[in-house]
Chain A
Amino acid sequence: MSSMGLTSLTYNTLLKMFSENKRFDGRELLEQRDLSVEYEVSYKAEGSARVKLGKTEVVAGVKLGLGEPYPDSLDKGNLMVSGDLLPLASPRFESGPPKYNSLELTRLVERAIRESGVIDLSKLVIKEGEKVWTVMIDIYPINDDGALIDAASIAAMAALLHTNIPELDKDGRIDYEKKSTKKLPLLENTIPLSLTFYKLGETIFVDPTREEEEACDGKIVWGISNYKGKEHMIHSCQKGMEASMSSEDIDKMMKHLPKLYDDTLKKLKKFLK
């Protein structure tokens, strides 16, 4: 795999195939690749997961730290999502200061998690106004074959669902020696995921391979959950890339998003312990 951009030949072939509802790998336009999840990428993390979506592979880890609350939320713990597109994962990624794509990835994963309220931050207070837990989620792609944000959000949620809060010693410091079984306080039956619809020419589709994604000129990332197990709820959304979207495009996404979410959740649930 070279780091050269897409050739016009590949682009034109993809454009033609998509207009005929065909894909190189034989999938339907709205069909997601196989998903698998593993845990304990690092036993040093409070929770961690590895997600494979086709050939795309992402690891996410959760660390909990002690800190002060923010002045505007003295009665809540903190949440931070960061990550980096490591040059390890693709010839297209470069080292150096984070570029827009890594900012987009971490901000969108963070917003879906934060806005859904899945982490009950009010239960992460040790001493109000003074000492709280900070939940730090870090996301790293290991192999980029498209749809990184979708894979990253699944990895982040899988890691969160298996996160324990460390024990404190008598001086109030983290005691890593003590084995903790205290789960991170999560809102029940609410699993927010970021799922993306892409646009190539006039065709809307999901879960692109790297090549398909590079040919695209528009996408919308949706953060959605089965809020409290009751109804589908959108928590975040962001249009990316130059192409504009018609009302019809957006209506189509709204029609298919709940099903895409349910299917993804079903696949993810097979791997939940």
Chain B
Amino acid sequence: MAFKRPDGRKLDEIRPITAKVGIIPNADGSAMFTFGKTVAIAAVYGPRMLHPQHMQDPKTAILRVNYDLLSFSVEDRKKPGPSRRSQEISKVTEWALSPALDLKEFPNTVIDVQIYILQANASTRVAGINAASMALAQAGIPMRDLVCAVSVGKMDKDIVIDVNDEEEHFEDGEGATDTATARLANSDRFTLLQLDGKIQPSLIPKALEMANKAFAKIYEIQKKTLKGVMEEKE
């Protein structure tokens, strides 16, 4: 029997998505992205001069990402400030976003991306990447493509898309596997791949296939949201 999702979704059904750009007036670009109850916001500042000067690179801009959970976004209050987990996510998010940017256009500068989770119900890092990708586009930074991100789970033996909190803690059979993935929207280039759990090597391509279908949907929403802002301006 197939895995029955606690919220009644089909195996390949993403939670309701909402997306918004321009939510932080001070930022050069900003966006909000939700997967169901998971809410991520992102702000982009830059390109701007990087200080201290010795950190500058005359060949390229530096992308600097900071991801974190707000202290009240989770059940047990999260102590403010970076954790081992958030430092790791910040770094892999940098790598998830940088292939979409032509950083060499802006030597000696830094592009700061700040991602915060207001409300966490699993899949926070991928929600954050979707928000950041839109914020970078709104900031007018030249991009090769948008970055789309989604989590793929394996519950016992079934592959599911967009893992929620309850599923993350599923323990029956082979238990829960959570895979965070990101890809450039229009090319076969994965920029994030992170996994925890128990999954056979032969199932990895199947999981990525399911992610690919979700990327197409997420891309349409990102595009539509960004276009909406452009039209408002005109």
Chain A positions near chain B (C-beta within 8 angstroms): 71, 100, 103-104, 107, 111, 115-116, 220, 224, 227, 231-248, 250-251, 254, 257-258
Selecting from B17-25, B35-43, B91-99, the interface stretch reads B91-99
Chain A residues whose C-beta falls within 8 Å of the C-beta of B191 in the assembled complex:
239, 244
Chain B residues whose C-beta falls within 8 Å of the C-beta of A243 in the assembled complex:
99
Inter-subunit contact B87/A103 (CB<8 Å):
yes
**Residue in contact with B204 in the complex, picked from A115, A116, A234, CB distance below 8 Å:** A234
B contact residues, range: 20 to 34
Chain B, 9-29, contact with A by CB distance < 8 Å: what is the 0/1 string? Answer: 000000000000000000000
Cβ-closest 7 pairs across A and B: A244-B189, A237-B195, A239-B193, A254-B201, A244-B99, A244-B191, A245-B190
Q: Is B53 an interface residue (CB 8 A)?
A: no
Inter-subunit contact B201/A239 (CB<8 Å):
no
A224–chain B nearest beta-carbon distance, Å:
7
Which B residues from 159 to 203 make CB contacts under 8 A with A? 179, 183-184, 188-202
Chain B, 71-106, contact with A by CB distance < 8 Å: what is the 0/1 string? Answer: 000001000000010011001100100110000000
Chain A residues whose C-beta falls within 8 Å of the C-beta of B8 in the assembled complex:
none
Given A100-B91, A244-B189, A247-B208: A236 touches B195 (CB 8 Å cut-off) = yes
Inter-subunit contact A246/B198 (CB<8 Å):
no
Q: Is B205 an interface residue (CB 8 A)?
A: yes
Chain B positions near chain A (C-beta within 8 angstroms): 76, 84, 87-88, 91-92, 95, 98-99, 179, 183-184, 188-202, 204-205, 208
Given A238-B92, A242-B98: A250 touches B200 (CB 8 Å cut-off) = no
**Residue in contact with A235 in the complex, picked from B95, B190, B197, B204, CB distance below 8 Å:** B197
Closest residue of chain B to A114 (Cβ to Cβ) is: B196
Inter-subunit contact B199/A100 (CB<8 Å):
no
Inter-subunit contact A251/B205 (CB<8 Å):
yes
Inter-subunit contact B204/A246 (CB<8 Å):
no
Closest residue of chain B to A110 (Cβ to Cβ) is: B84
**Residue in contact with A239 in the complex, picked from B76, B188, B194, B198, CB distance below 8 Å:** B194
* Bound-state Cα–Cα, A221 to B232, Å: 45
* Bound-state Cα–Cα, A242 to B190, Å: 11
Given A234-B204, A240-B95: A111 touches B196 (CB 8 Å cut-off) = yes
Inter-subunit contact A115/B197 (CB<8 Å):
yes
